[in-house]
Amino acid sequence: MLVAGLVVAGVLACAFFVLTMARSSREPLPEHSANFANGELLFWAGGCASCHAAADAEDSDLLILSGGRSLNTPFGVFRSPNISPDPNFGIGGWSMLDFVNAMVKGVSPDKRHYYPAFPYPNYQNIEIDDLLDLKAYLNTLPPSSNEVAGHSLQFPYSLRRGIGLWKWRYLARSRSDRTNEASEQIERGRYLVRGPGHCGACHTARDQFGGEITERLLAGAESLEFGEGNDASSAGRIPNITPHAEGIGGWSESDIAYALETGFDPDFDSFGGSMVEVQENMARLPAEDRAAIAAYLKSIPAISSEAH
């Protein structure tokens, strides 16, 4: 019995070890000459400044990715790292491959898993060429020597190794490959929403382990983030943005594009909460991209806000 128990424990330990190992890609990257304008577009579409710039940053300060912003969640407080091009405090010393592994695999240069509070489950959908342009653009931003305190997470979330299990279960679910079944415009919208825009990170409901529930894509969720010093009960509800009557079924494509540009909905109420920064980022995209997002949101299945 004892021997059998030890064998089982050994097998489980090995399984844990293998399943939680951080794997990065060593595949060579394609030849690429950087398109900085496209890198800047990805930067705004991806909302990097909304987490990595200082909390009160505006205008050109949004380009100083000094980190330190707190994300208060039921798992504890995450503090965003410095991703400015400073070689010591930021990611200036990283290779392109280091950056791609972080964004696509959620793995650090020293082979640790990142928490999905960094929306790499969504960013894994960004095309390699776009990631290379994004990194080239990030390299042009001002360096910052801000040193960020680590996260304050509750046990067992404080164990990074456990994220390996999370990834094994959830990472593939957030993949969104090109279907080629829809128009170019809808494909572009799908790419922006499911990839850089990471709309589902807020608008898709999650299960008890924080994995997005695929069947509830963009049908609204409880907010995982709450204000500094507050508890989970102060977190709000994030609306359903599918074409369901309980979502934005009553909005036309141009209503959606207009709201992303100006922050005003069809009733002329303005966006509040965390959507304000998202909208300000969207306002910096070309009009065709906002129109593409609107076309995609009208094309997805209408889902009721209530889980059935």
Name residue, tokens 């400073």.
Answer: 86
78 binds ligand HEC (CB under 6 A): yes
Beta bridge partners of 70: 79
Structural contact between residues 182 and 267, judged by C-beta atoms closer than 8 angstroms: no
Question: Smallest distance from the beta carbon of 64 to ligand HEC, in angstroms?
Answer: 14
Taking the least distance from each CB to ligand HEC, the nearer of 8 and 183 is 183
Which of 20, 39, 44, 48 is the binder for ligand HEC (CB under 6 A)? 48
**Residue (of 199, 208, 225) closest to 169 by Cα position:** 208
Question: Smallest distance from the beta carbon of 277 to ligand HEC, in angstroms?
Answer: 7
Beta bridge partners of 77: 72, 152
> Among 4-12, 18-26, 194-202, 206-214, which window interacts with ligand HEC (CB under 6 A)?
194-202
Which of 107, 132, 217, 248 is the binder for ligand HEC (CB under 6 A)? 248
Compute the radius of gyration of the chain from its Cα atoms: 20
Question: Smallest distance from the beta carbon of 196 to ligand HEC, in angstroms?
Answer: 6
H helical segments located in 142-229: 163-170, 184-194, 200-203
Which of 22, 205, 219, 238 is the binder for ligand HEC (CB under 6 A)? 238
293 binds ligand HEC (CB under 6 A): yes
**How many Å apart are CA 299 and CA 25, to the nearest integer?**
34
Which of 63, 141, 205, 256 is the binder for ligand HEC (CB under 6 A)? 256
Say what angle helices 163-170 and 2-19 make with each other, to 10 degrees. Answer: 70
Which of 73, 80, 185, 204 is the binder for ligand HEC (CB under 6 A)? 80
211 binds ligand HEC (CB under 6 A): no
Beta bridge partners of 78: 71
Which of 205, 278, 291, 292 is the binder for ligand HEC (CB under 6 A)? 278
295 binds ligand HEC (CB under 6 A): no
Structural contact between residues 41 and 285, judged by C-beta atoms closer than 8 angstroms: yes
261 binds ligand HEC (CB under 6 A): no
**How many Å apart are CA 62 and CA 70, to the nearest integer?**
16
Encoding tokens for residue 244?
């369901």
Taking the least distance from each CB to ligand HEC, the nearer of 9 and 250 is 250
104 binds ligand HEC (CB under 6 A): no
Which residues, at least 6 apart from 198, have a Cβ–Cβ distance to it below 8 Å? 46, 47, 119, 122, 123
Say what angle helices 275-282 and 36-46 make with each other, to 10 degrees. Answer: 160
Which of 22, 41, 62, 91 is the binder for ligand HEC (CB under 6 A)? 91
Which of 62, 63, 193, 285 is the binder for ligand HEC (CB under 6 A)? 193
239 binds ligand HEC (CB under 6 A): yes
**How many Å apart are CA 62 and CA 64, to the nearest integer?**
6
Structural contact between residues 298 and 261, judged by C-beta atoms closer than 8 angstroms: no
Which of 35, 274, 299, 304 is the binder for ligand HEC (CB under 6 A)? 274
Classified as helix, coil or strand, 173 is helix
Taking the least distance from each CB to ligand HEC, the nearer of 14 and 56 is 56
**How many Å apart are CA 105 and CA 110, to the nearest integer?**
13
Under rule CB under 6 A, which residues in 146-185 are in contact with ligand HEC?
A: none
User: Which residues contact ligand HEC (rule: CB under 6 A)?
Assistant: 46-48, 50-52, 71, 78, 80-81, 83, 91, 102, 108, 114-115, 117-119, 134, 193, 197-199, 201-203, 238-239, 241, 248, 256, 259, 265, 271-275, 278, 282, 293
